[in-house]
Amino acid sequence: MKTKIIDFFRSINRERVIGFIKTNAVMLIAALAALITAFIIPPDGEYLGYFDFKTLTCLFCVLAVVCALRNIRFFYTMAKAIIRKFKNTKLCILALVYVTFIGSMLIANDMALLTFLPLGYFVLHTTGKEKYMAFTYIMQNIAANLGGMLTPFGNPQNLYLYTKFNIPDAEFVRIMFPPFIIAIALITALCLIFVKSEPLEIHEKAAELPIPRVIIYLILFAISILIVFRTVPFVVGLIIIPIALLFLDREALKQVDYGLLLTFVFFFIFSGNMARIDVVRDFFSSLLERNTLIFSALSCQVISNVPSAILLSQFTDNYRELLWGVNIGGVGTLISSLASLITFKEYSKDQPGHTLRYILKFTAYNFIFFGVLVGVCLLIG
Protein backbone atom coordinates (compact mmCIF):
# COMPACT_ATOMS: atom_id res chain seq x y z
CA MET A 1 0.00 0.00 0.00
CA LYS A 2 2.83 2.35 0.95
CA THR A 3 4.57 1.62 -2.35
CA LYS A 4 1.41 2.44 -4.30
CA ILE A 5 1.07 5.80 -2.52
CA ILE A 6 4.70 6.67 -3.25
CA ASP A 7 4.26 5.69 -6.91
CA PHE A 8 1.10 7.82 -7.09
CA PHE A 9 2.88 10.95 -5.82
CA ARG A 10 5.83 10.26 -8.10
CA SER A 11 3.48 10.09 -11.09
CA ILE A 12 1.85 13.40 -10.05
CA ASN A 13 5.23 15.09 -9.76
CA ARG A 14 6.30 13.65 -13.10
CA GLU A 15 3.11 14.91 -14.75
CA ARG A 16 3.60 18.34 -13.21
CA VAL A 17 7.20 18.51 -14.38
CA ILE A 18 6.27 17.43 -17.92
CA GLY A 19 3.38 19.92 -17.95
CA PHE A 20 5.66 22.72 -16.73
CA ILE A 21 8.25 21.92 -19.41
CA LYS A 22 5.62 21.90 -22.18
CA THR A 23 4.07 25.17 -20.98
CA ASN A 24 7.39 26.97 -20.49
CA ALA A 25 9.55 25.39 -23.21
CA VAL A 26 10.66 28.71 -24.73
CA MET A 27 11.52 30.16 -21.31
CA LEU A 28 13.56 27.08 -20.36
CA ILE A 29 15.45 27.16 -23.66
CA ALA A 30 16.17 30.86 -23.09
CA ALA A 31 17.39 30.11 -19.55
CA LEU A 32 19.68 27.36 -20.83
CA ALA A 33 21.05 29.64 -23.57
CA ALA A 34 21.71 32.38 -20.99
CA LEU A 35 23.44 29.90 -18.66
CA ILE A 36 25.71 28.54 -21.41
CA THR A 37 26.82 32.02 -22.51
CA ALA A 38 27.37 33.00 -18.86
CA PHE A 39 30.20 30.44 -18.74
CA ILE A 40 31.79 32.13 -21.76
CA ILE A 41 31.19 35.69 -20.49
CA PRO A 42 31.14 35.47 -16.67
CA PRO A 43 28.68 37.84 -14.90
CA ASP A 44 30.08 41.32 -14.39
CA GLY A 45 28.95 44.95 -14.17
CA GLU A 46 28.04 45.07 -17.87
CA TYR A 47 25.19 42.60 -17.31
CA LEU A 48 23.02 45.40 -15.92
CA GLY A 49 23.27 47.16 -19.28
CA TYR A 50 21.68 44.15 -21.01
CA PHE A 51 18.22 44.73 -19.58
CA ASP A 52 15.64 47.04 -21.14
CA PHE A 53 13.63 47.82 -18.00
CA LYS A 54 11.17 50.02 -19.87
CA THR A 55 10.23 47.18 -22.22
CA LEU A 56 9.76 44.79 -19.30
CA THR A 57 7.62 47.35 -17.43
CA CYS A 58 5.46 48.13 -20.48
CA LEU A 59 4.92 44.44 -21.14
CA PHE A 60 3.99 43.75 -17.53
CA CYS A 61 1.53 46.67 -17.35
CA VAL A 62 -0.23 45.79 -20.62
CA LEU A 63 -0.47 42.09 -19.73
CA ALA A 64 -1.82 42.80 -16.22
CA VAL A 65 -4.57 45.16 -17.40
CA VAL A 66 -5.54 42.84 -20.25
CA CYS A 67 -5.88 39.97 -17.76
CA ALA A 68 -8.19 42.15 -15.64
CA LEU A 69 -10.32 43.02 -18.69
CA ARG A 70 -10.47 39.36 -19.66
CA ASN A 71 -11.63 38.40 -16.18
CA ILE A 72 -14.74 40.58 -16.53
CA ARG A 73 -15.22 39.09 -20.05
CA PHE A 74 -14.85 42.52 -21.66
CA PHE A 75 -13.28 41.39 -24.93
CA TYR A 76 -15.40 38.25 -25.11
CA THR A 77 -18.63 40.22 -24.62
CA MET A 78 -17.69 42.91 -27.13
CA ALA A 79 -16.72 40.34 -29.74
CA LYS A 80 -19.85 38.27 -29.22
CA ALA A 81 -22.04 41.35 -29.62
CA ILE A 82 -20.35 42.06 -32.95
CA ILE A 83 -20.66 38.50 -34.21
CA ARG A 84 -24.38 38.27 -33.35
CA LYS A 85 -25.00 40.86 -36.04
CA PHE A 86 -23.87 38.49 -38.81
CA LYS A 87 -26.18 35.88 -40.31
CA ASN A 88 -23.92 33.53 -42.30
CA THR A 89 -20.78 31.48 -41.77
CA LYS A 90 -18.58 33.43 -44.20
CA LEU A 91 -19.25 36.80 -42.54
CA CYS A 92 -19.10 35.31 -39.06
CA ILE A 93 -15.65 33.76 -39.59
CA LEU A 94 -14.46 37.00 -41.18
CA ALA A 95 -15.70 38.82 -38.07
CA LEU A 96 -13.88 36.36 -35.79
CA VAL A 97 -10.65 36.83 -37.74
CA TYR A 98 -11.01 40.62 -37.88
CA VAL A 99 -11.73 40.82 -34.15
CA THR A 100 -8.54 38.84 -33.51
CA PHE A 101 -6.67 41.03 -36.00
CA ILE A 102 -7.79 44.26 -34.32
CA GLY A 103 -7.39 42.77 -30.84
CA SER A 104 -3.74 41.95 -31.49
CA MET A 105 -3.06 45.62 -32.23
CA LEU A 106 -4.43 46.58 -28.83
CA ILE A 107 -3.74 43.72 -26.43
CA ALA A 108 -0.82 41.85 -28.08
CA ASN A 109 -0.99 38.75 -30.25
CA ASP A 110 -0.86 36.03 -27.59
CA MET A 111 -3.50 37.72 -25.42
CA ALA A 112 -5.75 38.23 -28.47
CA LEU A 113 -5.59 34.51 -29.21
CA LEU A 114 -6.22 33.47 -25.61
CA THR A 115 -9.23 35.79 -25.63
CA PHE A 116 -10.79 35.09 -29.05
CA LEU A 117 -9.91 31.46 -29.86
CA PRO A 118 -12.47 30.22 -27.29
CA LEU A 119 -15.02 32.50 -28.95
CA GLY A 120 -14.28 30.90 -32.33
CA TYR A 121 -14.75 27.46 -30.80
CA PHE A 122 -18.04 28.54 -29.15
CA VAL A 123 -19.46 29.91 -32.41
CA LEU A 124 -18.48 26.96 -34.62
CA HIS A 125 -19.28 24.25 -32.08
CA THR A 126 -22.72 25.54 -31.09
CA THR A 127 -23.77 26.16 -34.70
CA GLY A 128 -22.53 22.82 -36.06
CA LYS A 129 -19.83 24.34 -38.29
CA GLU A 130 -16.85 22.45 -36.87
CA LYS A 131 -15.61 21.63 -40.39
CA TYR A 132 -14.26 25.21 -40.43
CA MET A 133 -12.52 24.88 -37.04
CA ALA A 134 -8.97 24.29 -38.33
CA PHE A 135 -9.24 27.00 -41.01
CA THR A 136 -10.65 29.52 -38.52
CA TYR A 137 -7.98 28.83 -35.89
CA ILE A 138 -5.23 29.13 -38.51
CA MET A 139 -6.62 32.42 -39.85
CA GLN A 140 -7.04 33.77 -36.32
CA ASN A 141 -3.44 32.80 -35.58
CA ILE A 142 -2.14 34.53 -38.72
CA ALA A 143 -4.32 37.56 -37.99
CA ALA A 144 -2.93 37.80 -34.45
CA ASN A 145 0.70 37.57 -35.60
CA LEU A 146 0.31 40.01 -38.50
CA GLY A 147 -2.29 42.37 -37.03
CA GLY A 148 0.01 43.15 -34.14
CA MET A 149 2.75 44.32 -36.50
CA LEU A 150 1.22 47.79 -36.98
CA THR A 151 1.57 48.99 -33.37
CA PRO A 152 4.59 49.06 -31.04
CA PHE A 153 2.65 47.12 -28.39
CA GLY A 154 0.94 44.68 -30.79
CA ASN A 155 3.80 42.17 -30.68
CA PRO A 156 6.42 41.76 -27.90
CA GLN A 157 9.28 42.04 -30.40
CA ASN A 158 7.85 45.33 -31.66
CA LEU A 159 7.81 46.79 -28.17
CA TYR A 160 11.43 45.80 -27.69
CA LEU A 161 12.70 47.18 -31.03
CA TYR A 162 10.56 50.33 -30.74
CA THR A 163 12.19 51.07 -27.38
CA LYS A 164 15.73 49.95 -28.23
CA PHE A 165 16.03 52.04 -31.40
CA ASN A 166 13.81 54.89 -30.12
CA ILE A 167 11.76 54.74 -33.33
CA PRO A 168 9.41 57.73 -33.87
CA ASP A 169 5.72 56.78 -33.73
CA ALA A 170 4.84 57.95 -37.25
CA GLU A 171 7.90 56.24 -38.74
CA PHE A 172 7.04 52.97 -37.01
CA VAL A 173 3.53 52.94 -38.51
CA ARG A 174 4.88 54.02 -41.92
CA ILE A 175 7.39 51.13 -41.94
CA MET A 176 4.83 48.49 -41.02
CA PHE A 177 1.86 49.79 -43.02
CA PRO A 178 2.64 48.13 -46.42
CA PRO A 179 2.93 44.52 -45.12
CA PHE A 180 0.00 45.20 -42.78
CA ILE A 181 -2.32 46.15 -45.69
CA ILE A 182 -1.18 43.17 -47.78
CA ALA A 183 -1.84 40.88 -44.81
CA ILE A 184 -5.41 42.23 -44.43
CA ALA A 185 -6.09 41.76 -48.15
CA LEU A 186 -4.73 38.21 -48.20
CA ILE A 187 -6.58 37.14 -45.05
CA THR A 188 -9.84 38.57 -46.43
CA ALA A 189 -9.37 36.88 -49.80
CA LEU A 190 -8.73 33.44 -48.27
CA CYS A 191 -11.78 33.72 -45.98
CA LEU A 192 -13.99 34.75 -48.90
CA ILE A 193 -12.69 31.91 -51.09
CA PHE A 194 -12.66 28.99 -48.64
CA VAL A 195 -15.73 29.68 -46.46
CA LYS A 196 -19.25 29.25 -47.85
CA SER A 197 -22.16 31.62 -47.13
CA GLU A 198 -24.15 29.13 -45.07
CA PRO A 199 -26.96 30.25 -42.70
CA LEU A 200 -25.79 30.77 -39.13
CA GLU A 201 -27.50 31.61 -35.85
CA ILE A 202 -26.05 32.38 -32.42
CA HIS A 203 -28.66 32.28 -29.70
CA GLU A 204 -26.63 33.14 -26.59
CA LYS A 205 -26.94 36.75 -25.44
CA ALA A 206 -23.93 38.83 -24.49
CA ALA A 207 -23.45 39.16 -20.72
CA GLU A 208 -23.75 42.52 -18.97
CA LEU A 209 -20.48 44.18 -18.05
CA PRO A 210 -19.62 45.75 -14.66
CA ILE A 211 -19.40 49.32 -15.99
CA PRO A 212 -17.43 50.90 -13.07
CA ARG A 213 -14.68 48.30 -13.40
CA VAL A 214 -14.68 48.59 -17.18
CA ILE A 215 -14.05 52.35 -16.88
CA ILE A 216 -11.25 51.89 -14.32
CA TYR A 217 -9.56 49.15 -16.32
CA LEU A 218 -9.76 51.16 -19.54
CA ILE A 219 -8.10 54.09 -17.73
CA LEU A 220 -5.33 51.75 -16.57
CA PHE A 221 -5.03 50.40 -20.10
CA ALA A 222 -4.72 53.98 -21.40
CA ILE A 223 -1.91 54.58 -18.90
CA SER A 224 -0.16 51.44 -20.19
CA ILE A 225 -0.41 52.70 -23.76
CA LEU A 226 0.86 56.16 -22.76
CA ILE A 227 3.90 54.48 -21.20
CA VAL A 228 4.58 52.71 -24.49
CA PHE A 229 4.37 56.03 -26.35
CA ARG A 230 6.76 57.64 -23.85
CA THR A 231 4.14 60.09 -22.53
CA VAL A 232 4.02 58.66 -18.99
CA PRO A 233 7.22 57.54 -17.17
CA PHE A 234 7.29 53.75 -16.88
CA VAL A 235 7.90 53.98 -13.12
CA VAL A 236 4.45 55.59 -12.72
CA GLY A 237 2.75 52.64 -14.36
CA LEU A 238 4.79 50.19 -12.32
CA ILE A 239 3.38 51.80 -9.17
CA ILE A 240 -0.22 52.67 -10.13
CA ILE A 241 -1.28 49.55 -12.04
CA PRO A 242 -0.16 46.86 -9.54
CA ILE A 243 -1.62 48.81 -6.60
CA ALA A 244 -4.96 49.31 -8.38
CA LEU A 245 -5.21 45.64 -9.37
CA LEU A 246 -4.19 44.57 -5.88
CA PHE A 247 -7.50 45.99 -4.67
CA LEU A 248 -9.65 45.34 -7.76
CA ASP A 249 -8.46 41.99 -9.14
CA ARG A 250 -5.54 40.19 -7.53
CA GLU A 251 -6.11 37.23 -9.84
CA ALA A 252 -5.12 39.41 -12.80
CA LEU A 253 -1.70 39.94 -11.23
CA LYS A 254 -1.35 36.18 -10.77
CA GLN A 255 -2.42 35.50 -14.36
CA VAL A 256 0.24 37.71 -15.95
CA ASP A 257 2.47 35.65 -18.24
CA TYR A 258 5.58 35.88 -16.06
CA GLY A 259 7.11 33.14 -18.20
CA LEU A 260 7.13 35.59 -21.11
CA LEU A 261 8.75 38.27 -18.94
CA LEU A 262 11.43 35.82 -17.75
CA THR A 263 11.96 34.74 -21.36
CA PHE A 264 12.81 38.35 -22.17
CA VAL A 265 15.18 38.53 -19.18
CA PHE A 266 17.03 35.36 -20.20
CA PHE A 267 17.27 36.42 -23.83
CA PHE A 268 18.59 39.84 -22.77
CA ILE A 269 21.42 37.99 -20.99
CA PHE A 270 21.96 35.60 -23.92
CA SER A 271 21.98 38.28 -26.62
CA GLY A 272 24.11 40.64 -24.51
CA ASN A 273 26.74 37.95 -24.01
CA MET A 274 26.64 36.89 -27.66
CA ALA A 275 27.30 40.48 -28.72
CA ARG A 276 30.49 40.45 -26.62
CA ILE A 277 31.91 37.39 -28.42
CA ASP A 278 34.00 38.70 -31.34
CA VAL A 279 33.54 35.70 -33.65
CA VAL A 280 29.77 35.69 -33.17
CA ARG A 281 29.49 39.45 -33.61
CA ASP A 282 31.44 39.38 -36.87
CA PHE A 283 29.44 36.41 -38.20
CA PHE A 284 25.99 37.86 -37.52
CA SER A 285 27.01 41.33 -38.66
CA SER A 286 28.19 39.99 -42.03
CA LEU A 287 24.94 38.03 -42.58
CA LEU A 288 22.75 40.98 -41.66
CA GLU A 289 24.73 43.29 -43.96
CA ARG A 290 23.86 41.02 -46.90
CA ASN A 291 20.10 40.99 -46.27
CA THR A 292 18.64 41.89 -42.88
CA LEU A 293 15.06 41.15 -43.94
CA ILE A 294 15.58 37.61 -45.23
CA PHE A 295 18.03 36.52 -42.53
CA SER A 296 15.86 37.81 -39.67
CA ALA A 297 12.68 36.29 -41.17
CA LEU A 298 14.39 32.90 -41.61
CA SER A 299 15.91 32.97 -38.12
CA CYS A 300 12.39 33.25 -36.67
CA GLN A 301 11.53 29.87 -38.20
CA VAL A 302 14.16 28.25 -35.99
CA ILE A 303 14.36 30.29 -32.75
CA SER A 304 11.03 32.23 -32.83
CA ASN A 305 10.48 35.95 -33.48
CA VAL A 306 11.00 37.43 -29.99
CA PRO A 307 14.46 35.93 -29.38
CA SER A 308 15.39 36.72 -33.00
CA ALA A 309 14.56 40.39 -32.45
CA ILE A 310 16.54 40.60 -29.22
CA LEU A 311 19.54 38.72 -30.58
CA LEU A 312 19.83 40.29 -34.04
CA SER A 313 19.28 43.85 -32.76
CA GLN A 314 22.75 43.58 -31.22
CA PHE A 315 24.34 43.32 -34.66
CA THR A 316 22.50 45.79 -36.92
CA ASP A 317 21.07 49.30 -36.91
CA ASN A 318 18.80 48.54 -39.88
CA TYR A 319 15.65 48.49 -37.73
CA ARG A 320 13.37 48.94 -40.77
CA GLU A 321 14.21 45.56 -42.31
CA LEU A 322 14.64 43.97 -38.90
CA LEU A 323 11.08 45.02 -38.00
CA TRP A 324 9.79 43.55 -41.25
CA GLY A 325 11.76 40.34 -40.78
CA VAL A 326 10.78 39.50 -37.20
CA ASN A 327 7.11 40.36 -37.84
CA ILE A 328 6.78 38.48 -41.13
CA GLY A 329 8.86 35.70 -39.61
CA GLY A 330 6.08 35.17 -37.07
CA VAL A 331 4.25 33.21 -39.79
CA GLY A 332 5.83 30.03 -41.04
CA THR A 333 6.74 27.08 -38.84
CA LEU A 334 4.85 26.15 -35.69
CA ILE A 335 7.71 27.51 -33.55
CA SER A 336 8.16 30.81 -35.39
CA SER A 337 5.94 32.55 -32.84
CA LEU A 338 4.82 31.81 -29.29
CA ALA A 339 1.31 32.75 -30.43
CA SER A 340 1.36 29.84 -32.92
CA LEU A 341 2.13 27.39 -30.14
CA ILE A 342 -0.78 28.82 -28.13
CA THR A 343 -3.13 28.24 -31.09
CA PHE A 344 -1.86 24.69 -31.62
CA LYS A 345 -2.33 23.91 -27.93
CA GLU A 346 -5.92 25.24 -28.00
CA TYR A 347 -6.77 23.35 -31.20
CA SER A 348 -5.33 20.10 -29.83
CA LYS A 349 -7.52 20.51 -26.75
CA ASP A 350 -10.67 21.35 -28.74
CA GLN A 351 -10.18 18.91 -31.64
CA PRO A 352 -8.13 15.92 -30.40
CA GLY A 353 -7.16 13.44 -33.08
CA HIS A 354 -6.93 16.01 -35.90
CA THR A 355 -3.57 17.59 -35.10
CA LEU A 356 -1.57 16.20 -38.05
CA ARG A 357 -4.05 17.58 -40.58
CA TYR A 358 -4.00 20.88 -38.70
CA ILE A 359 -0.19 21.09 -38.84
CA LEU A 360 -0.18 20.42 -42.61
CA LYS A 361 -2.82 23.10 -43.25
CA PHE A 362 -1.12 25.49 -40.84
CA THR A 363 2.24 25.12 -42.60
CA ALA A 364 0.73 25.56 -46.08
CA TYR A 365 -1.26 28.71 -45.24
CA ASN A 366 1.54 30.26 -43.18
CA PHE A 367 4.17 29.89 -45.87
CA ILE A 368 1.83 31.45 -48.42
CA PHE A 369 1.77 34.56 -46.23
CA PHE A 370 5.50 34.30 -45.56
CA GLY A 371 6.38 34.19 -49.26
CA VAL A 372 3.99 36.96 -50.32
CA LEU A 373 5.00 39.37 -47.53
CA VAL A 374 8.75 38.79 -47.91
CA GLY A 375 8.36 39.37 -51.65
CA VAL A 376 6.42 42.62 -51.14
CA CYS A 377 8.97 43.97 -48.65
CA LEU A 378 11.87 43.07 -50.97
CA LEU A 379 10.14 45.00 -53.78
CA ILE A 380 9.54 48.14 -51.69
CA GLY A 381 12.83 47.87 -49.81
Average pLDDT over residues 301-312: 84
Strands (E) located in 158-268: none
* Residue 212, CA distances (Å) to 57, 72, 209, 241, 264 in order: 26, 11, 9, 16, 34
Instruction: State the average pLDDT for the chain.
Output: 85
The per-residue pLDDT for 372 is 96
**Which residues lie closer than 8 Å to 251 by C-beta, 6 or more apart?**
67, 71
Which pLDDT does position 361 carry in this prediction?
94
pLDDT the model gives residue 10: 58
pLDDT digits (tens, 9 = 90+) for 230-278: 788 888 889 999 999 999 999 999 988 888 788 878 888 887 888 788 8
Q: Which of 78-87, 118-127, 193-202 has the lowest mean pLDDT?
A: 78-87
Q: pLDDT-based confidence at 121, cuts 50/70/90? A: confident
Question: How many Cβ atoms are within 10 Å of 375's Cβ, its own excluded?
Answer: 11
pTM for this entry:
0.77
Query: Where does the chain show beta strands of DSSP type E?
Result: none
What pLDDT, on a 0 to 100 scale, did the predictor assign at position 23? 67
C-alpha span between 341 and 295 (Å, rounded): 22
Range with the lowest mean pLDDT among 41-55, 140-154, 178-192, 196-210? 196-210
pLDDT at 73: 84
85-94, 165-174, 247-256, 342-351: the lowest-pLDDT one: 342-351
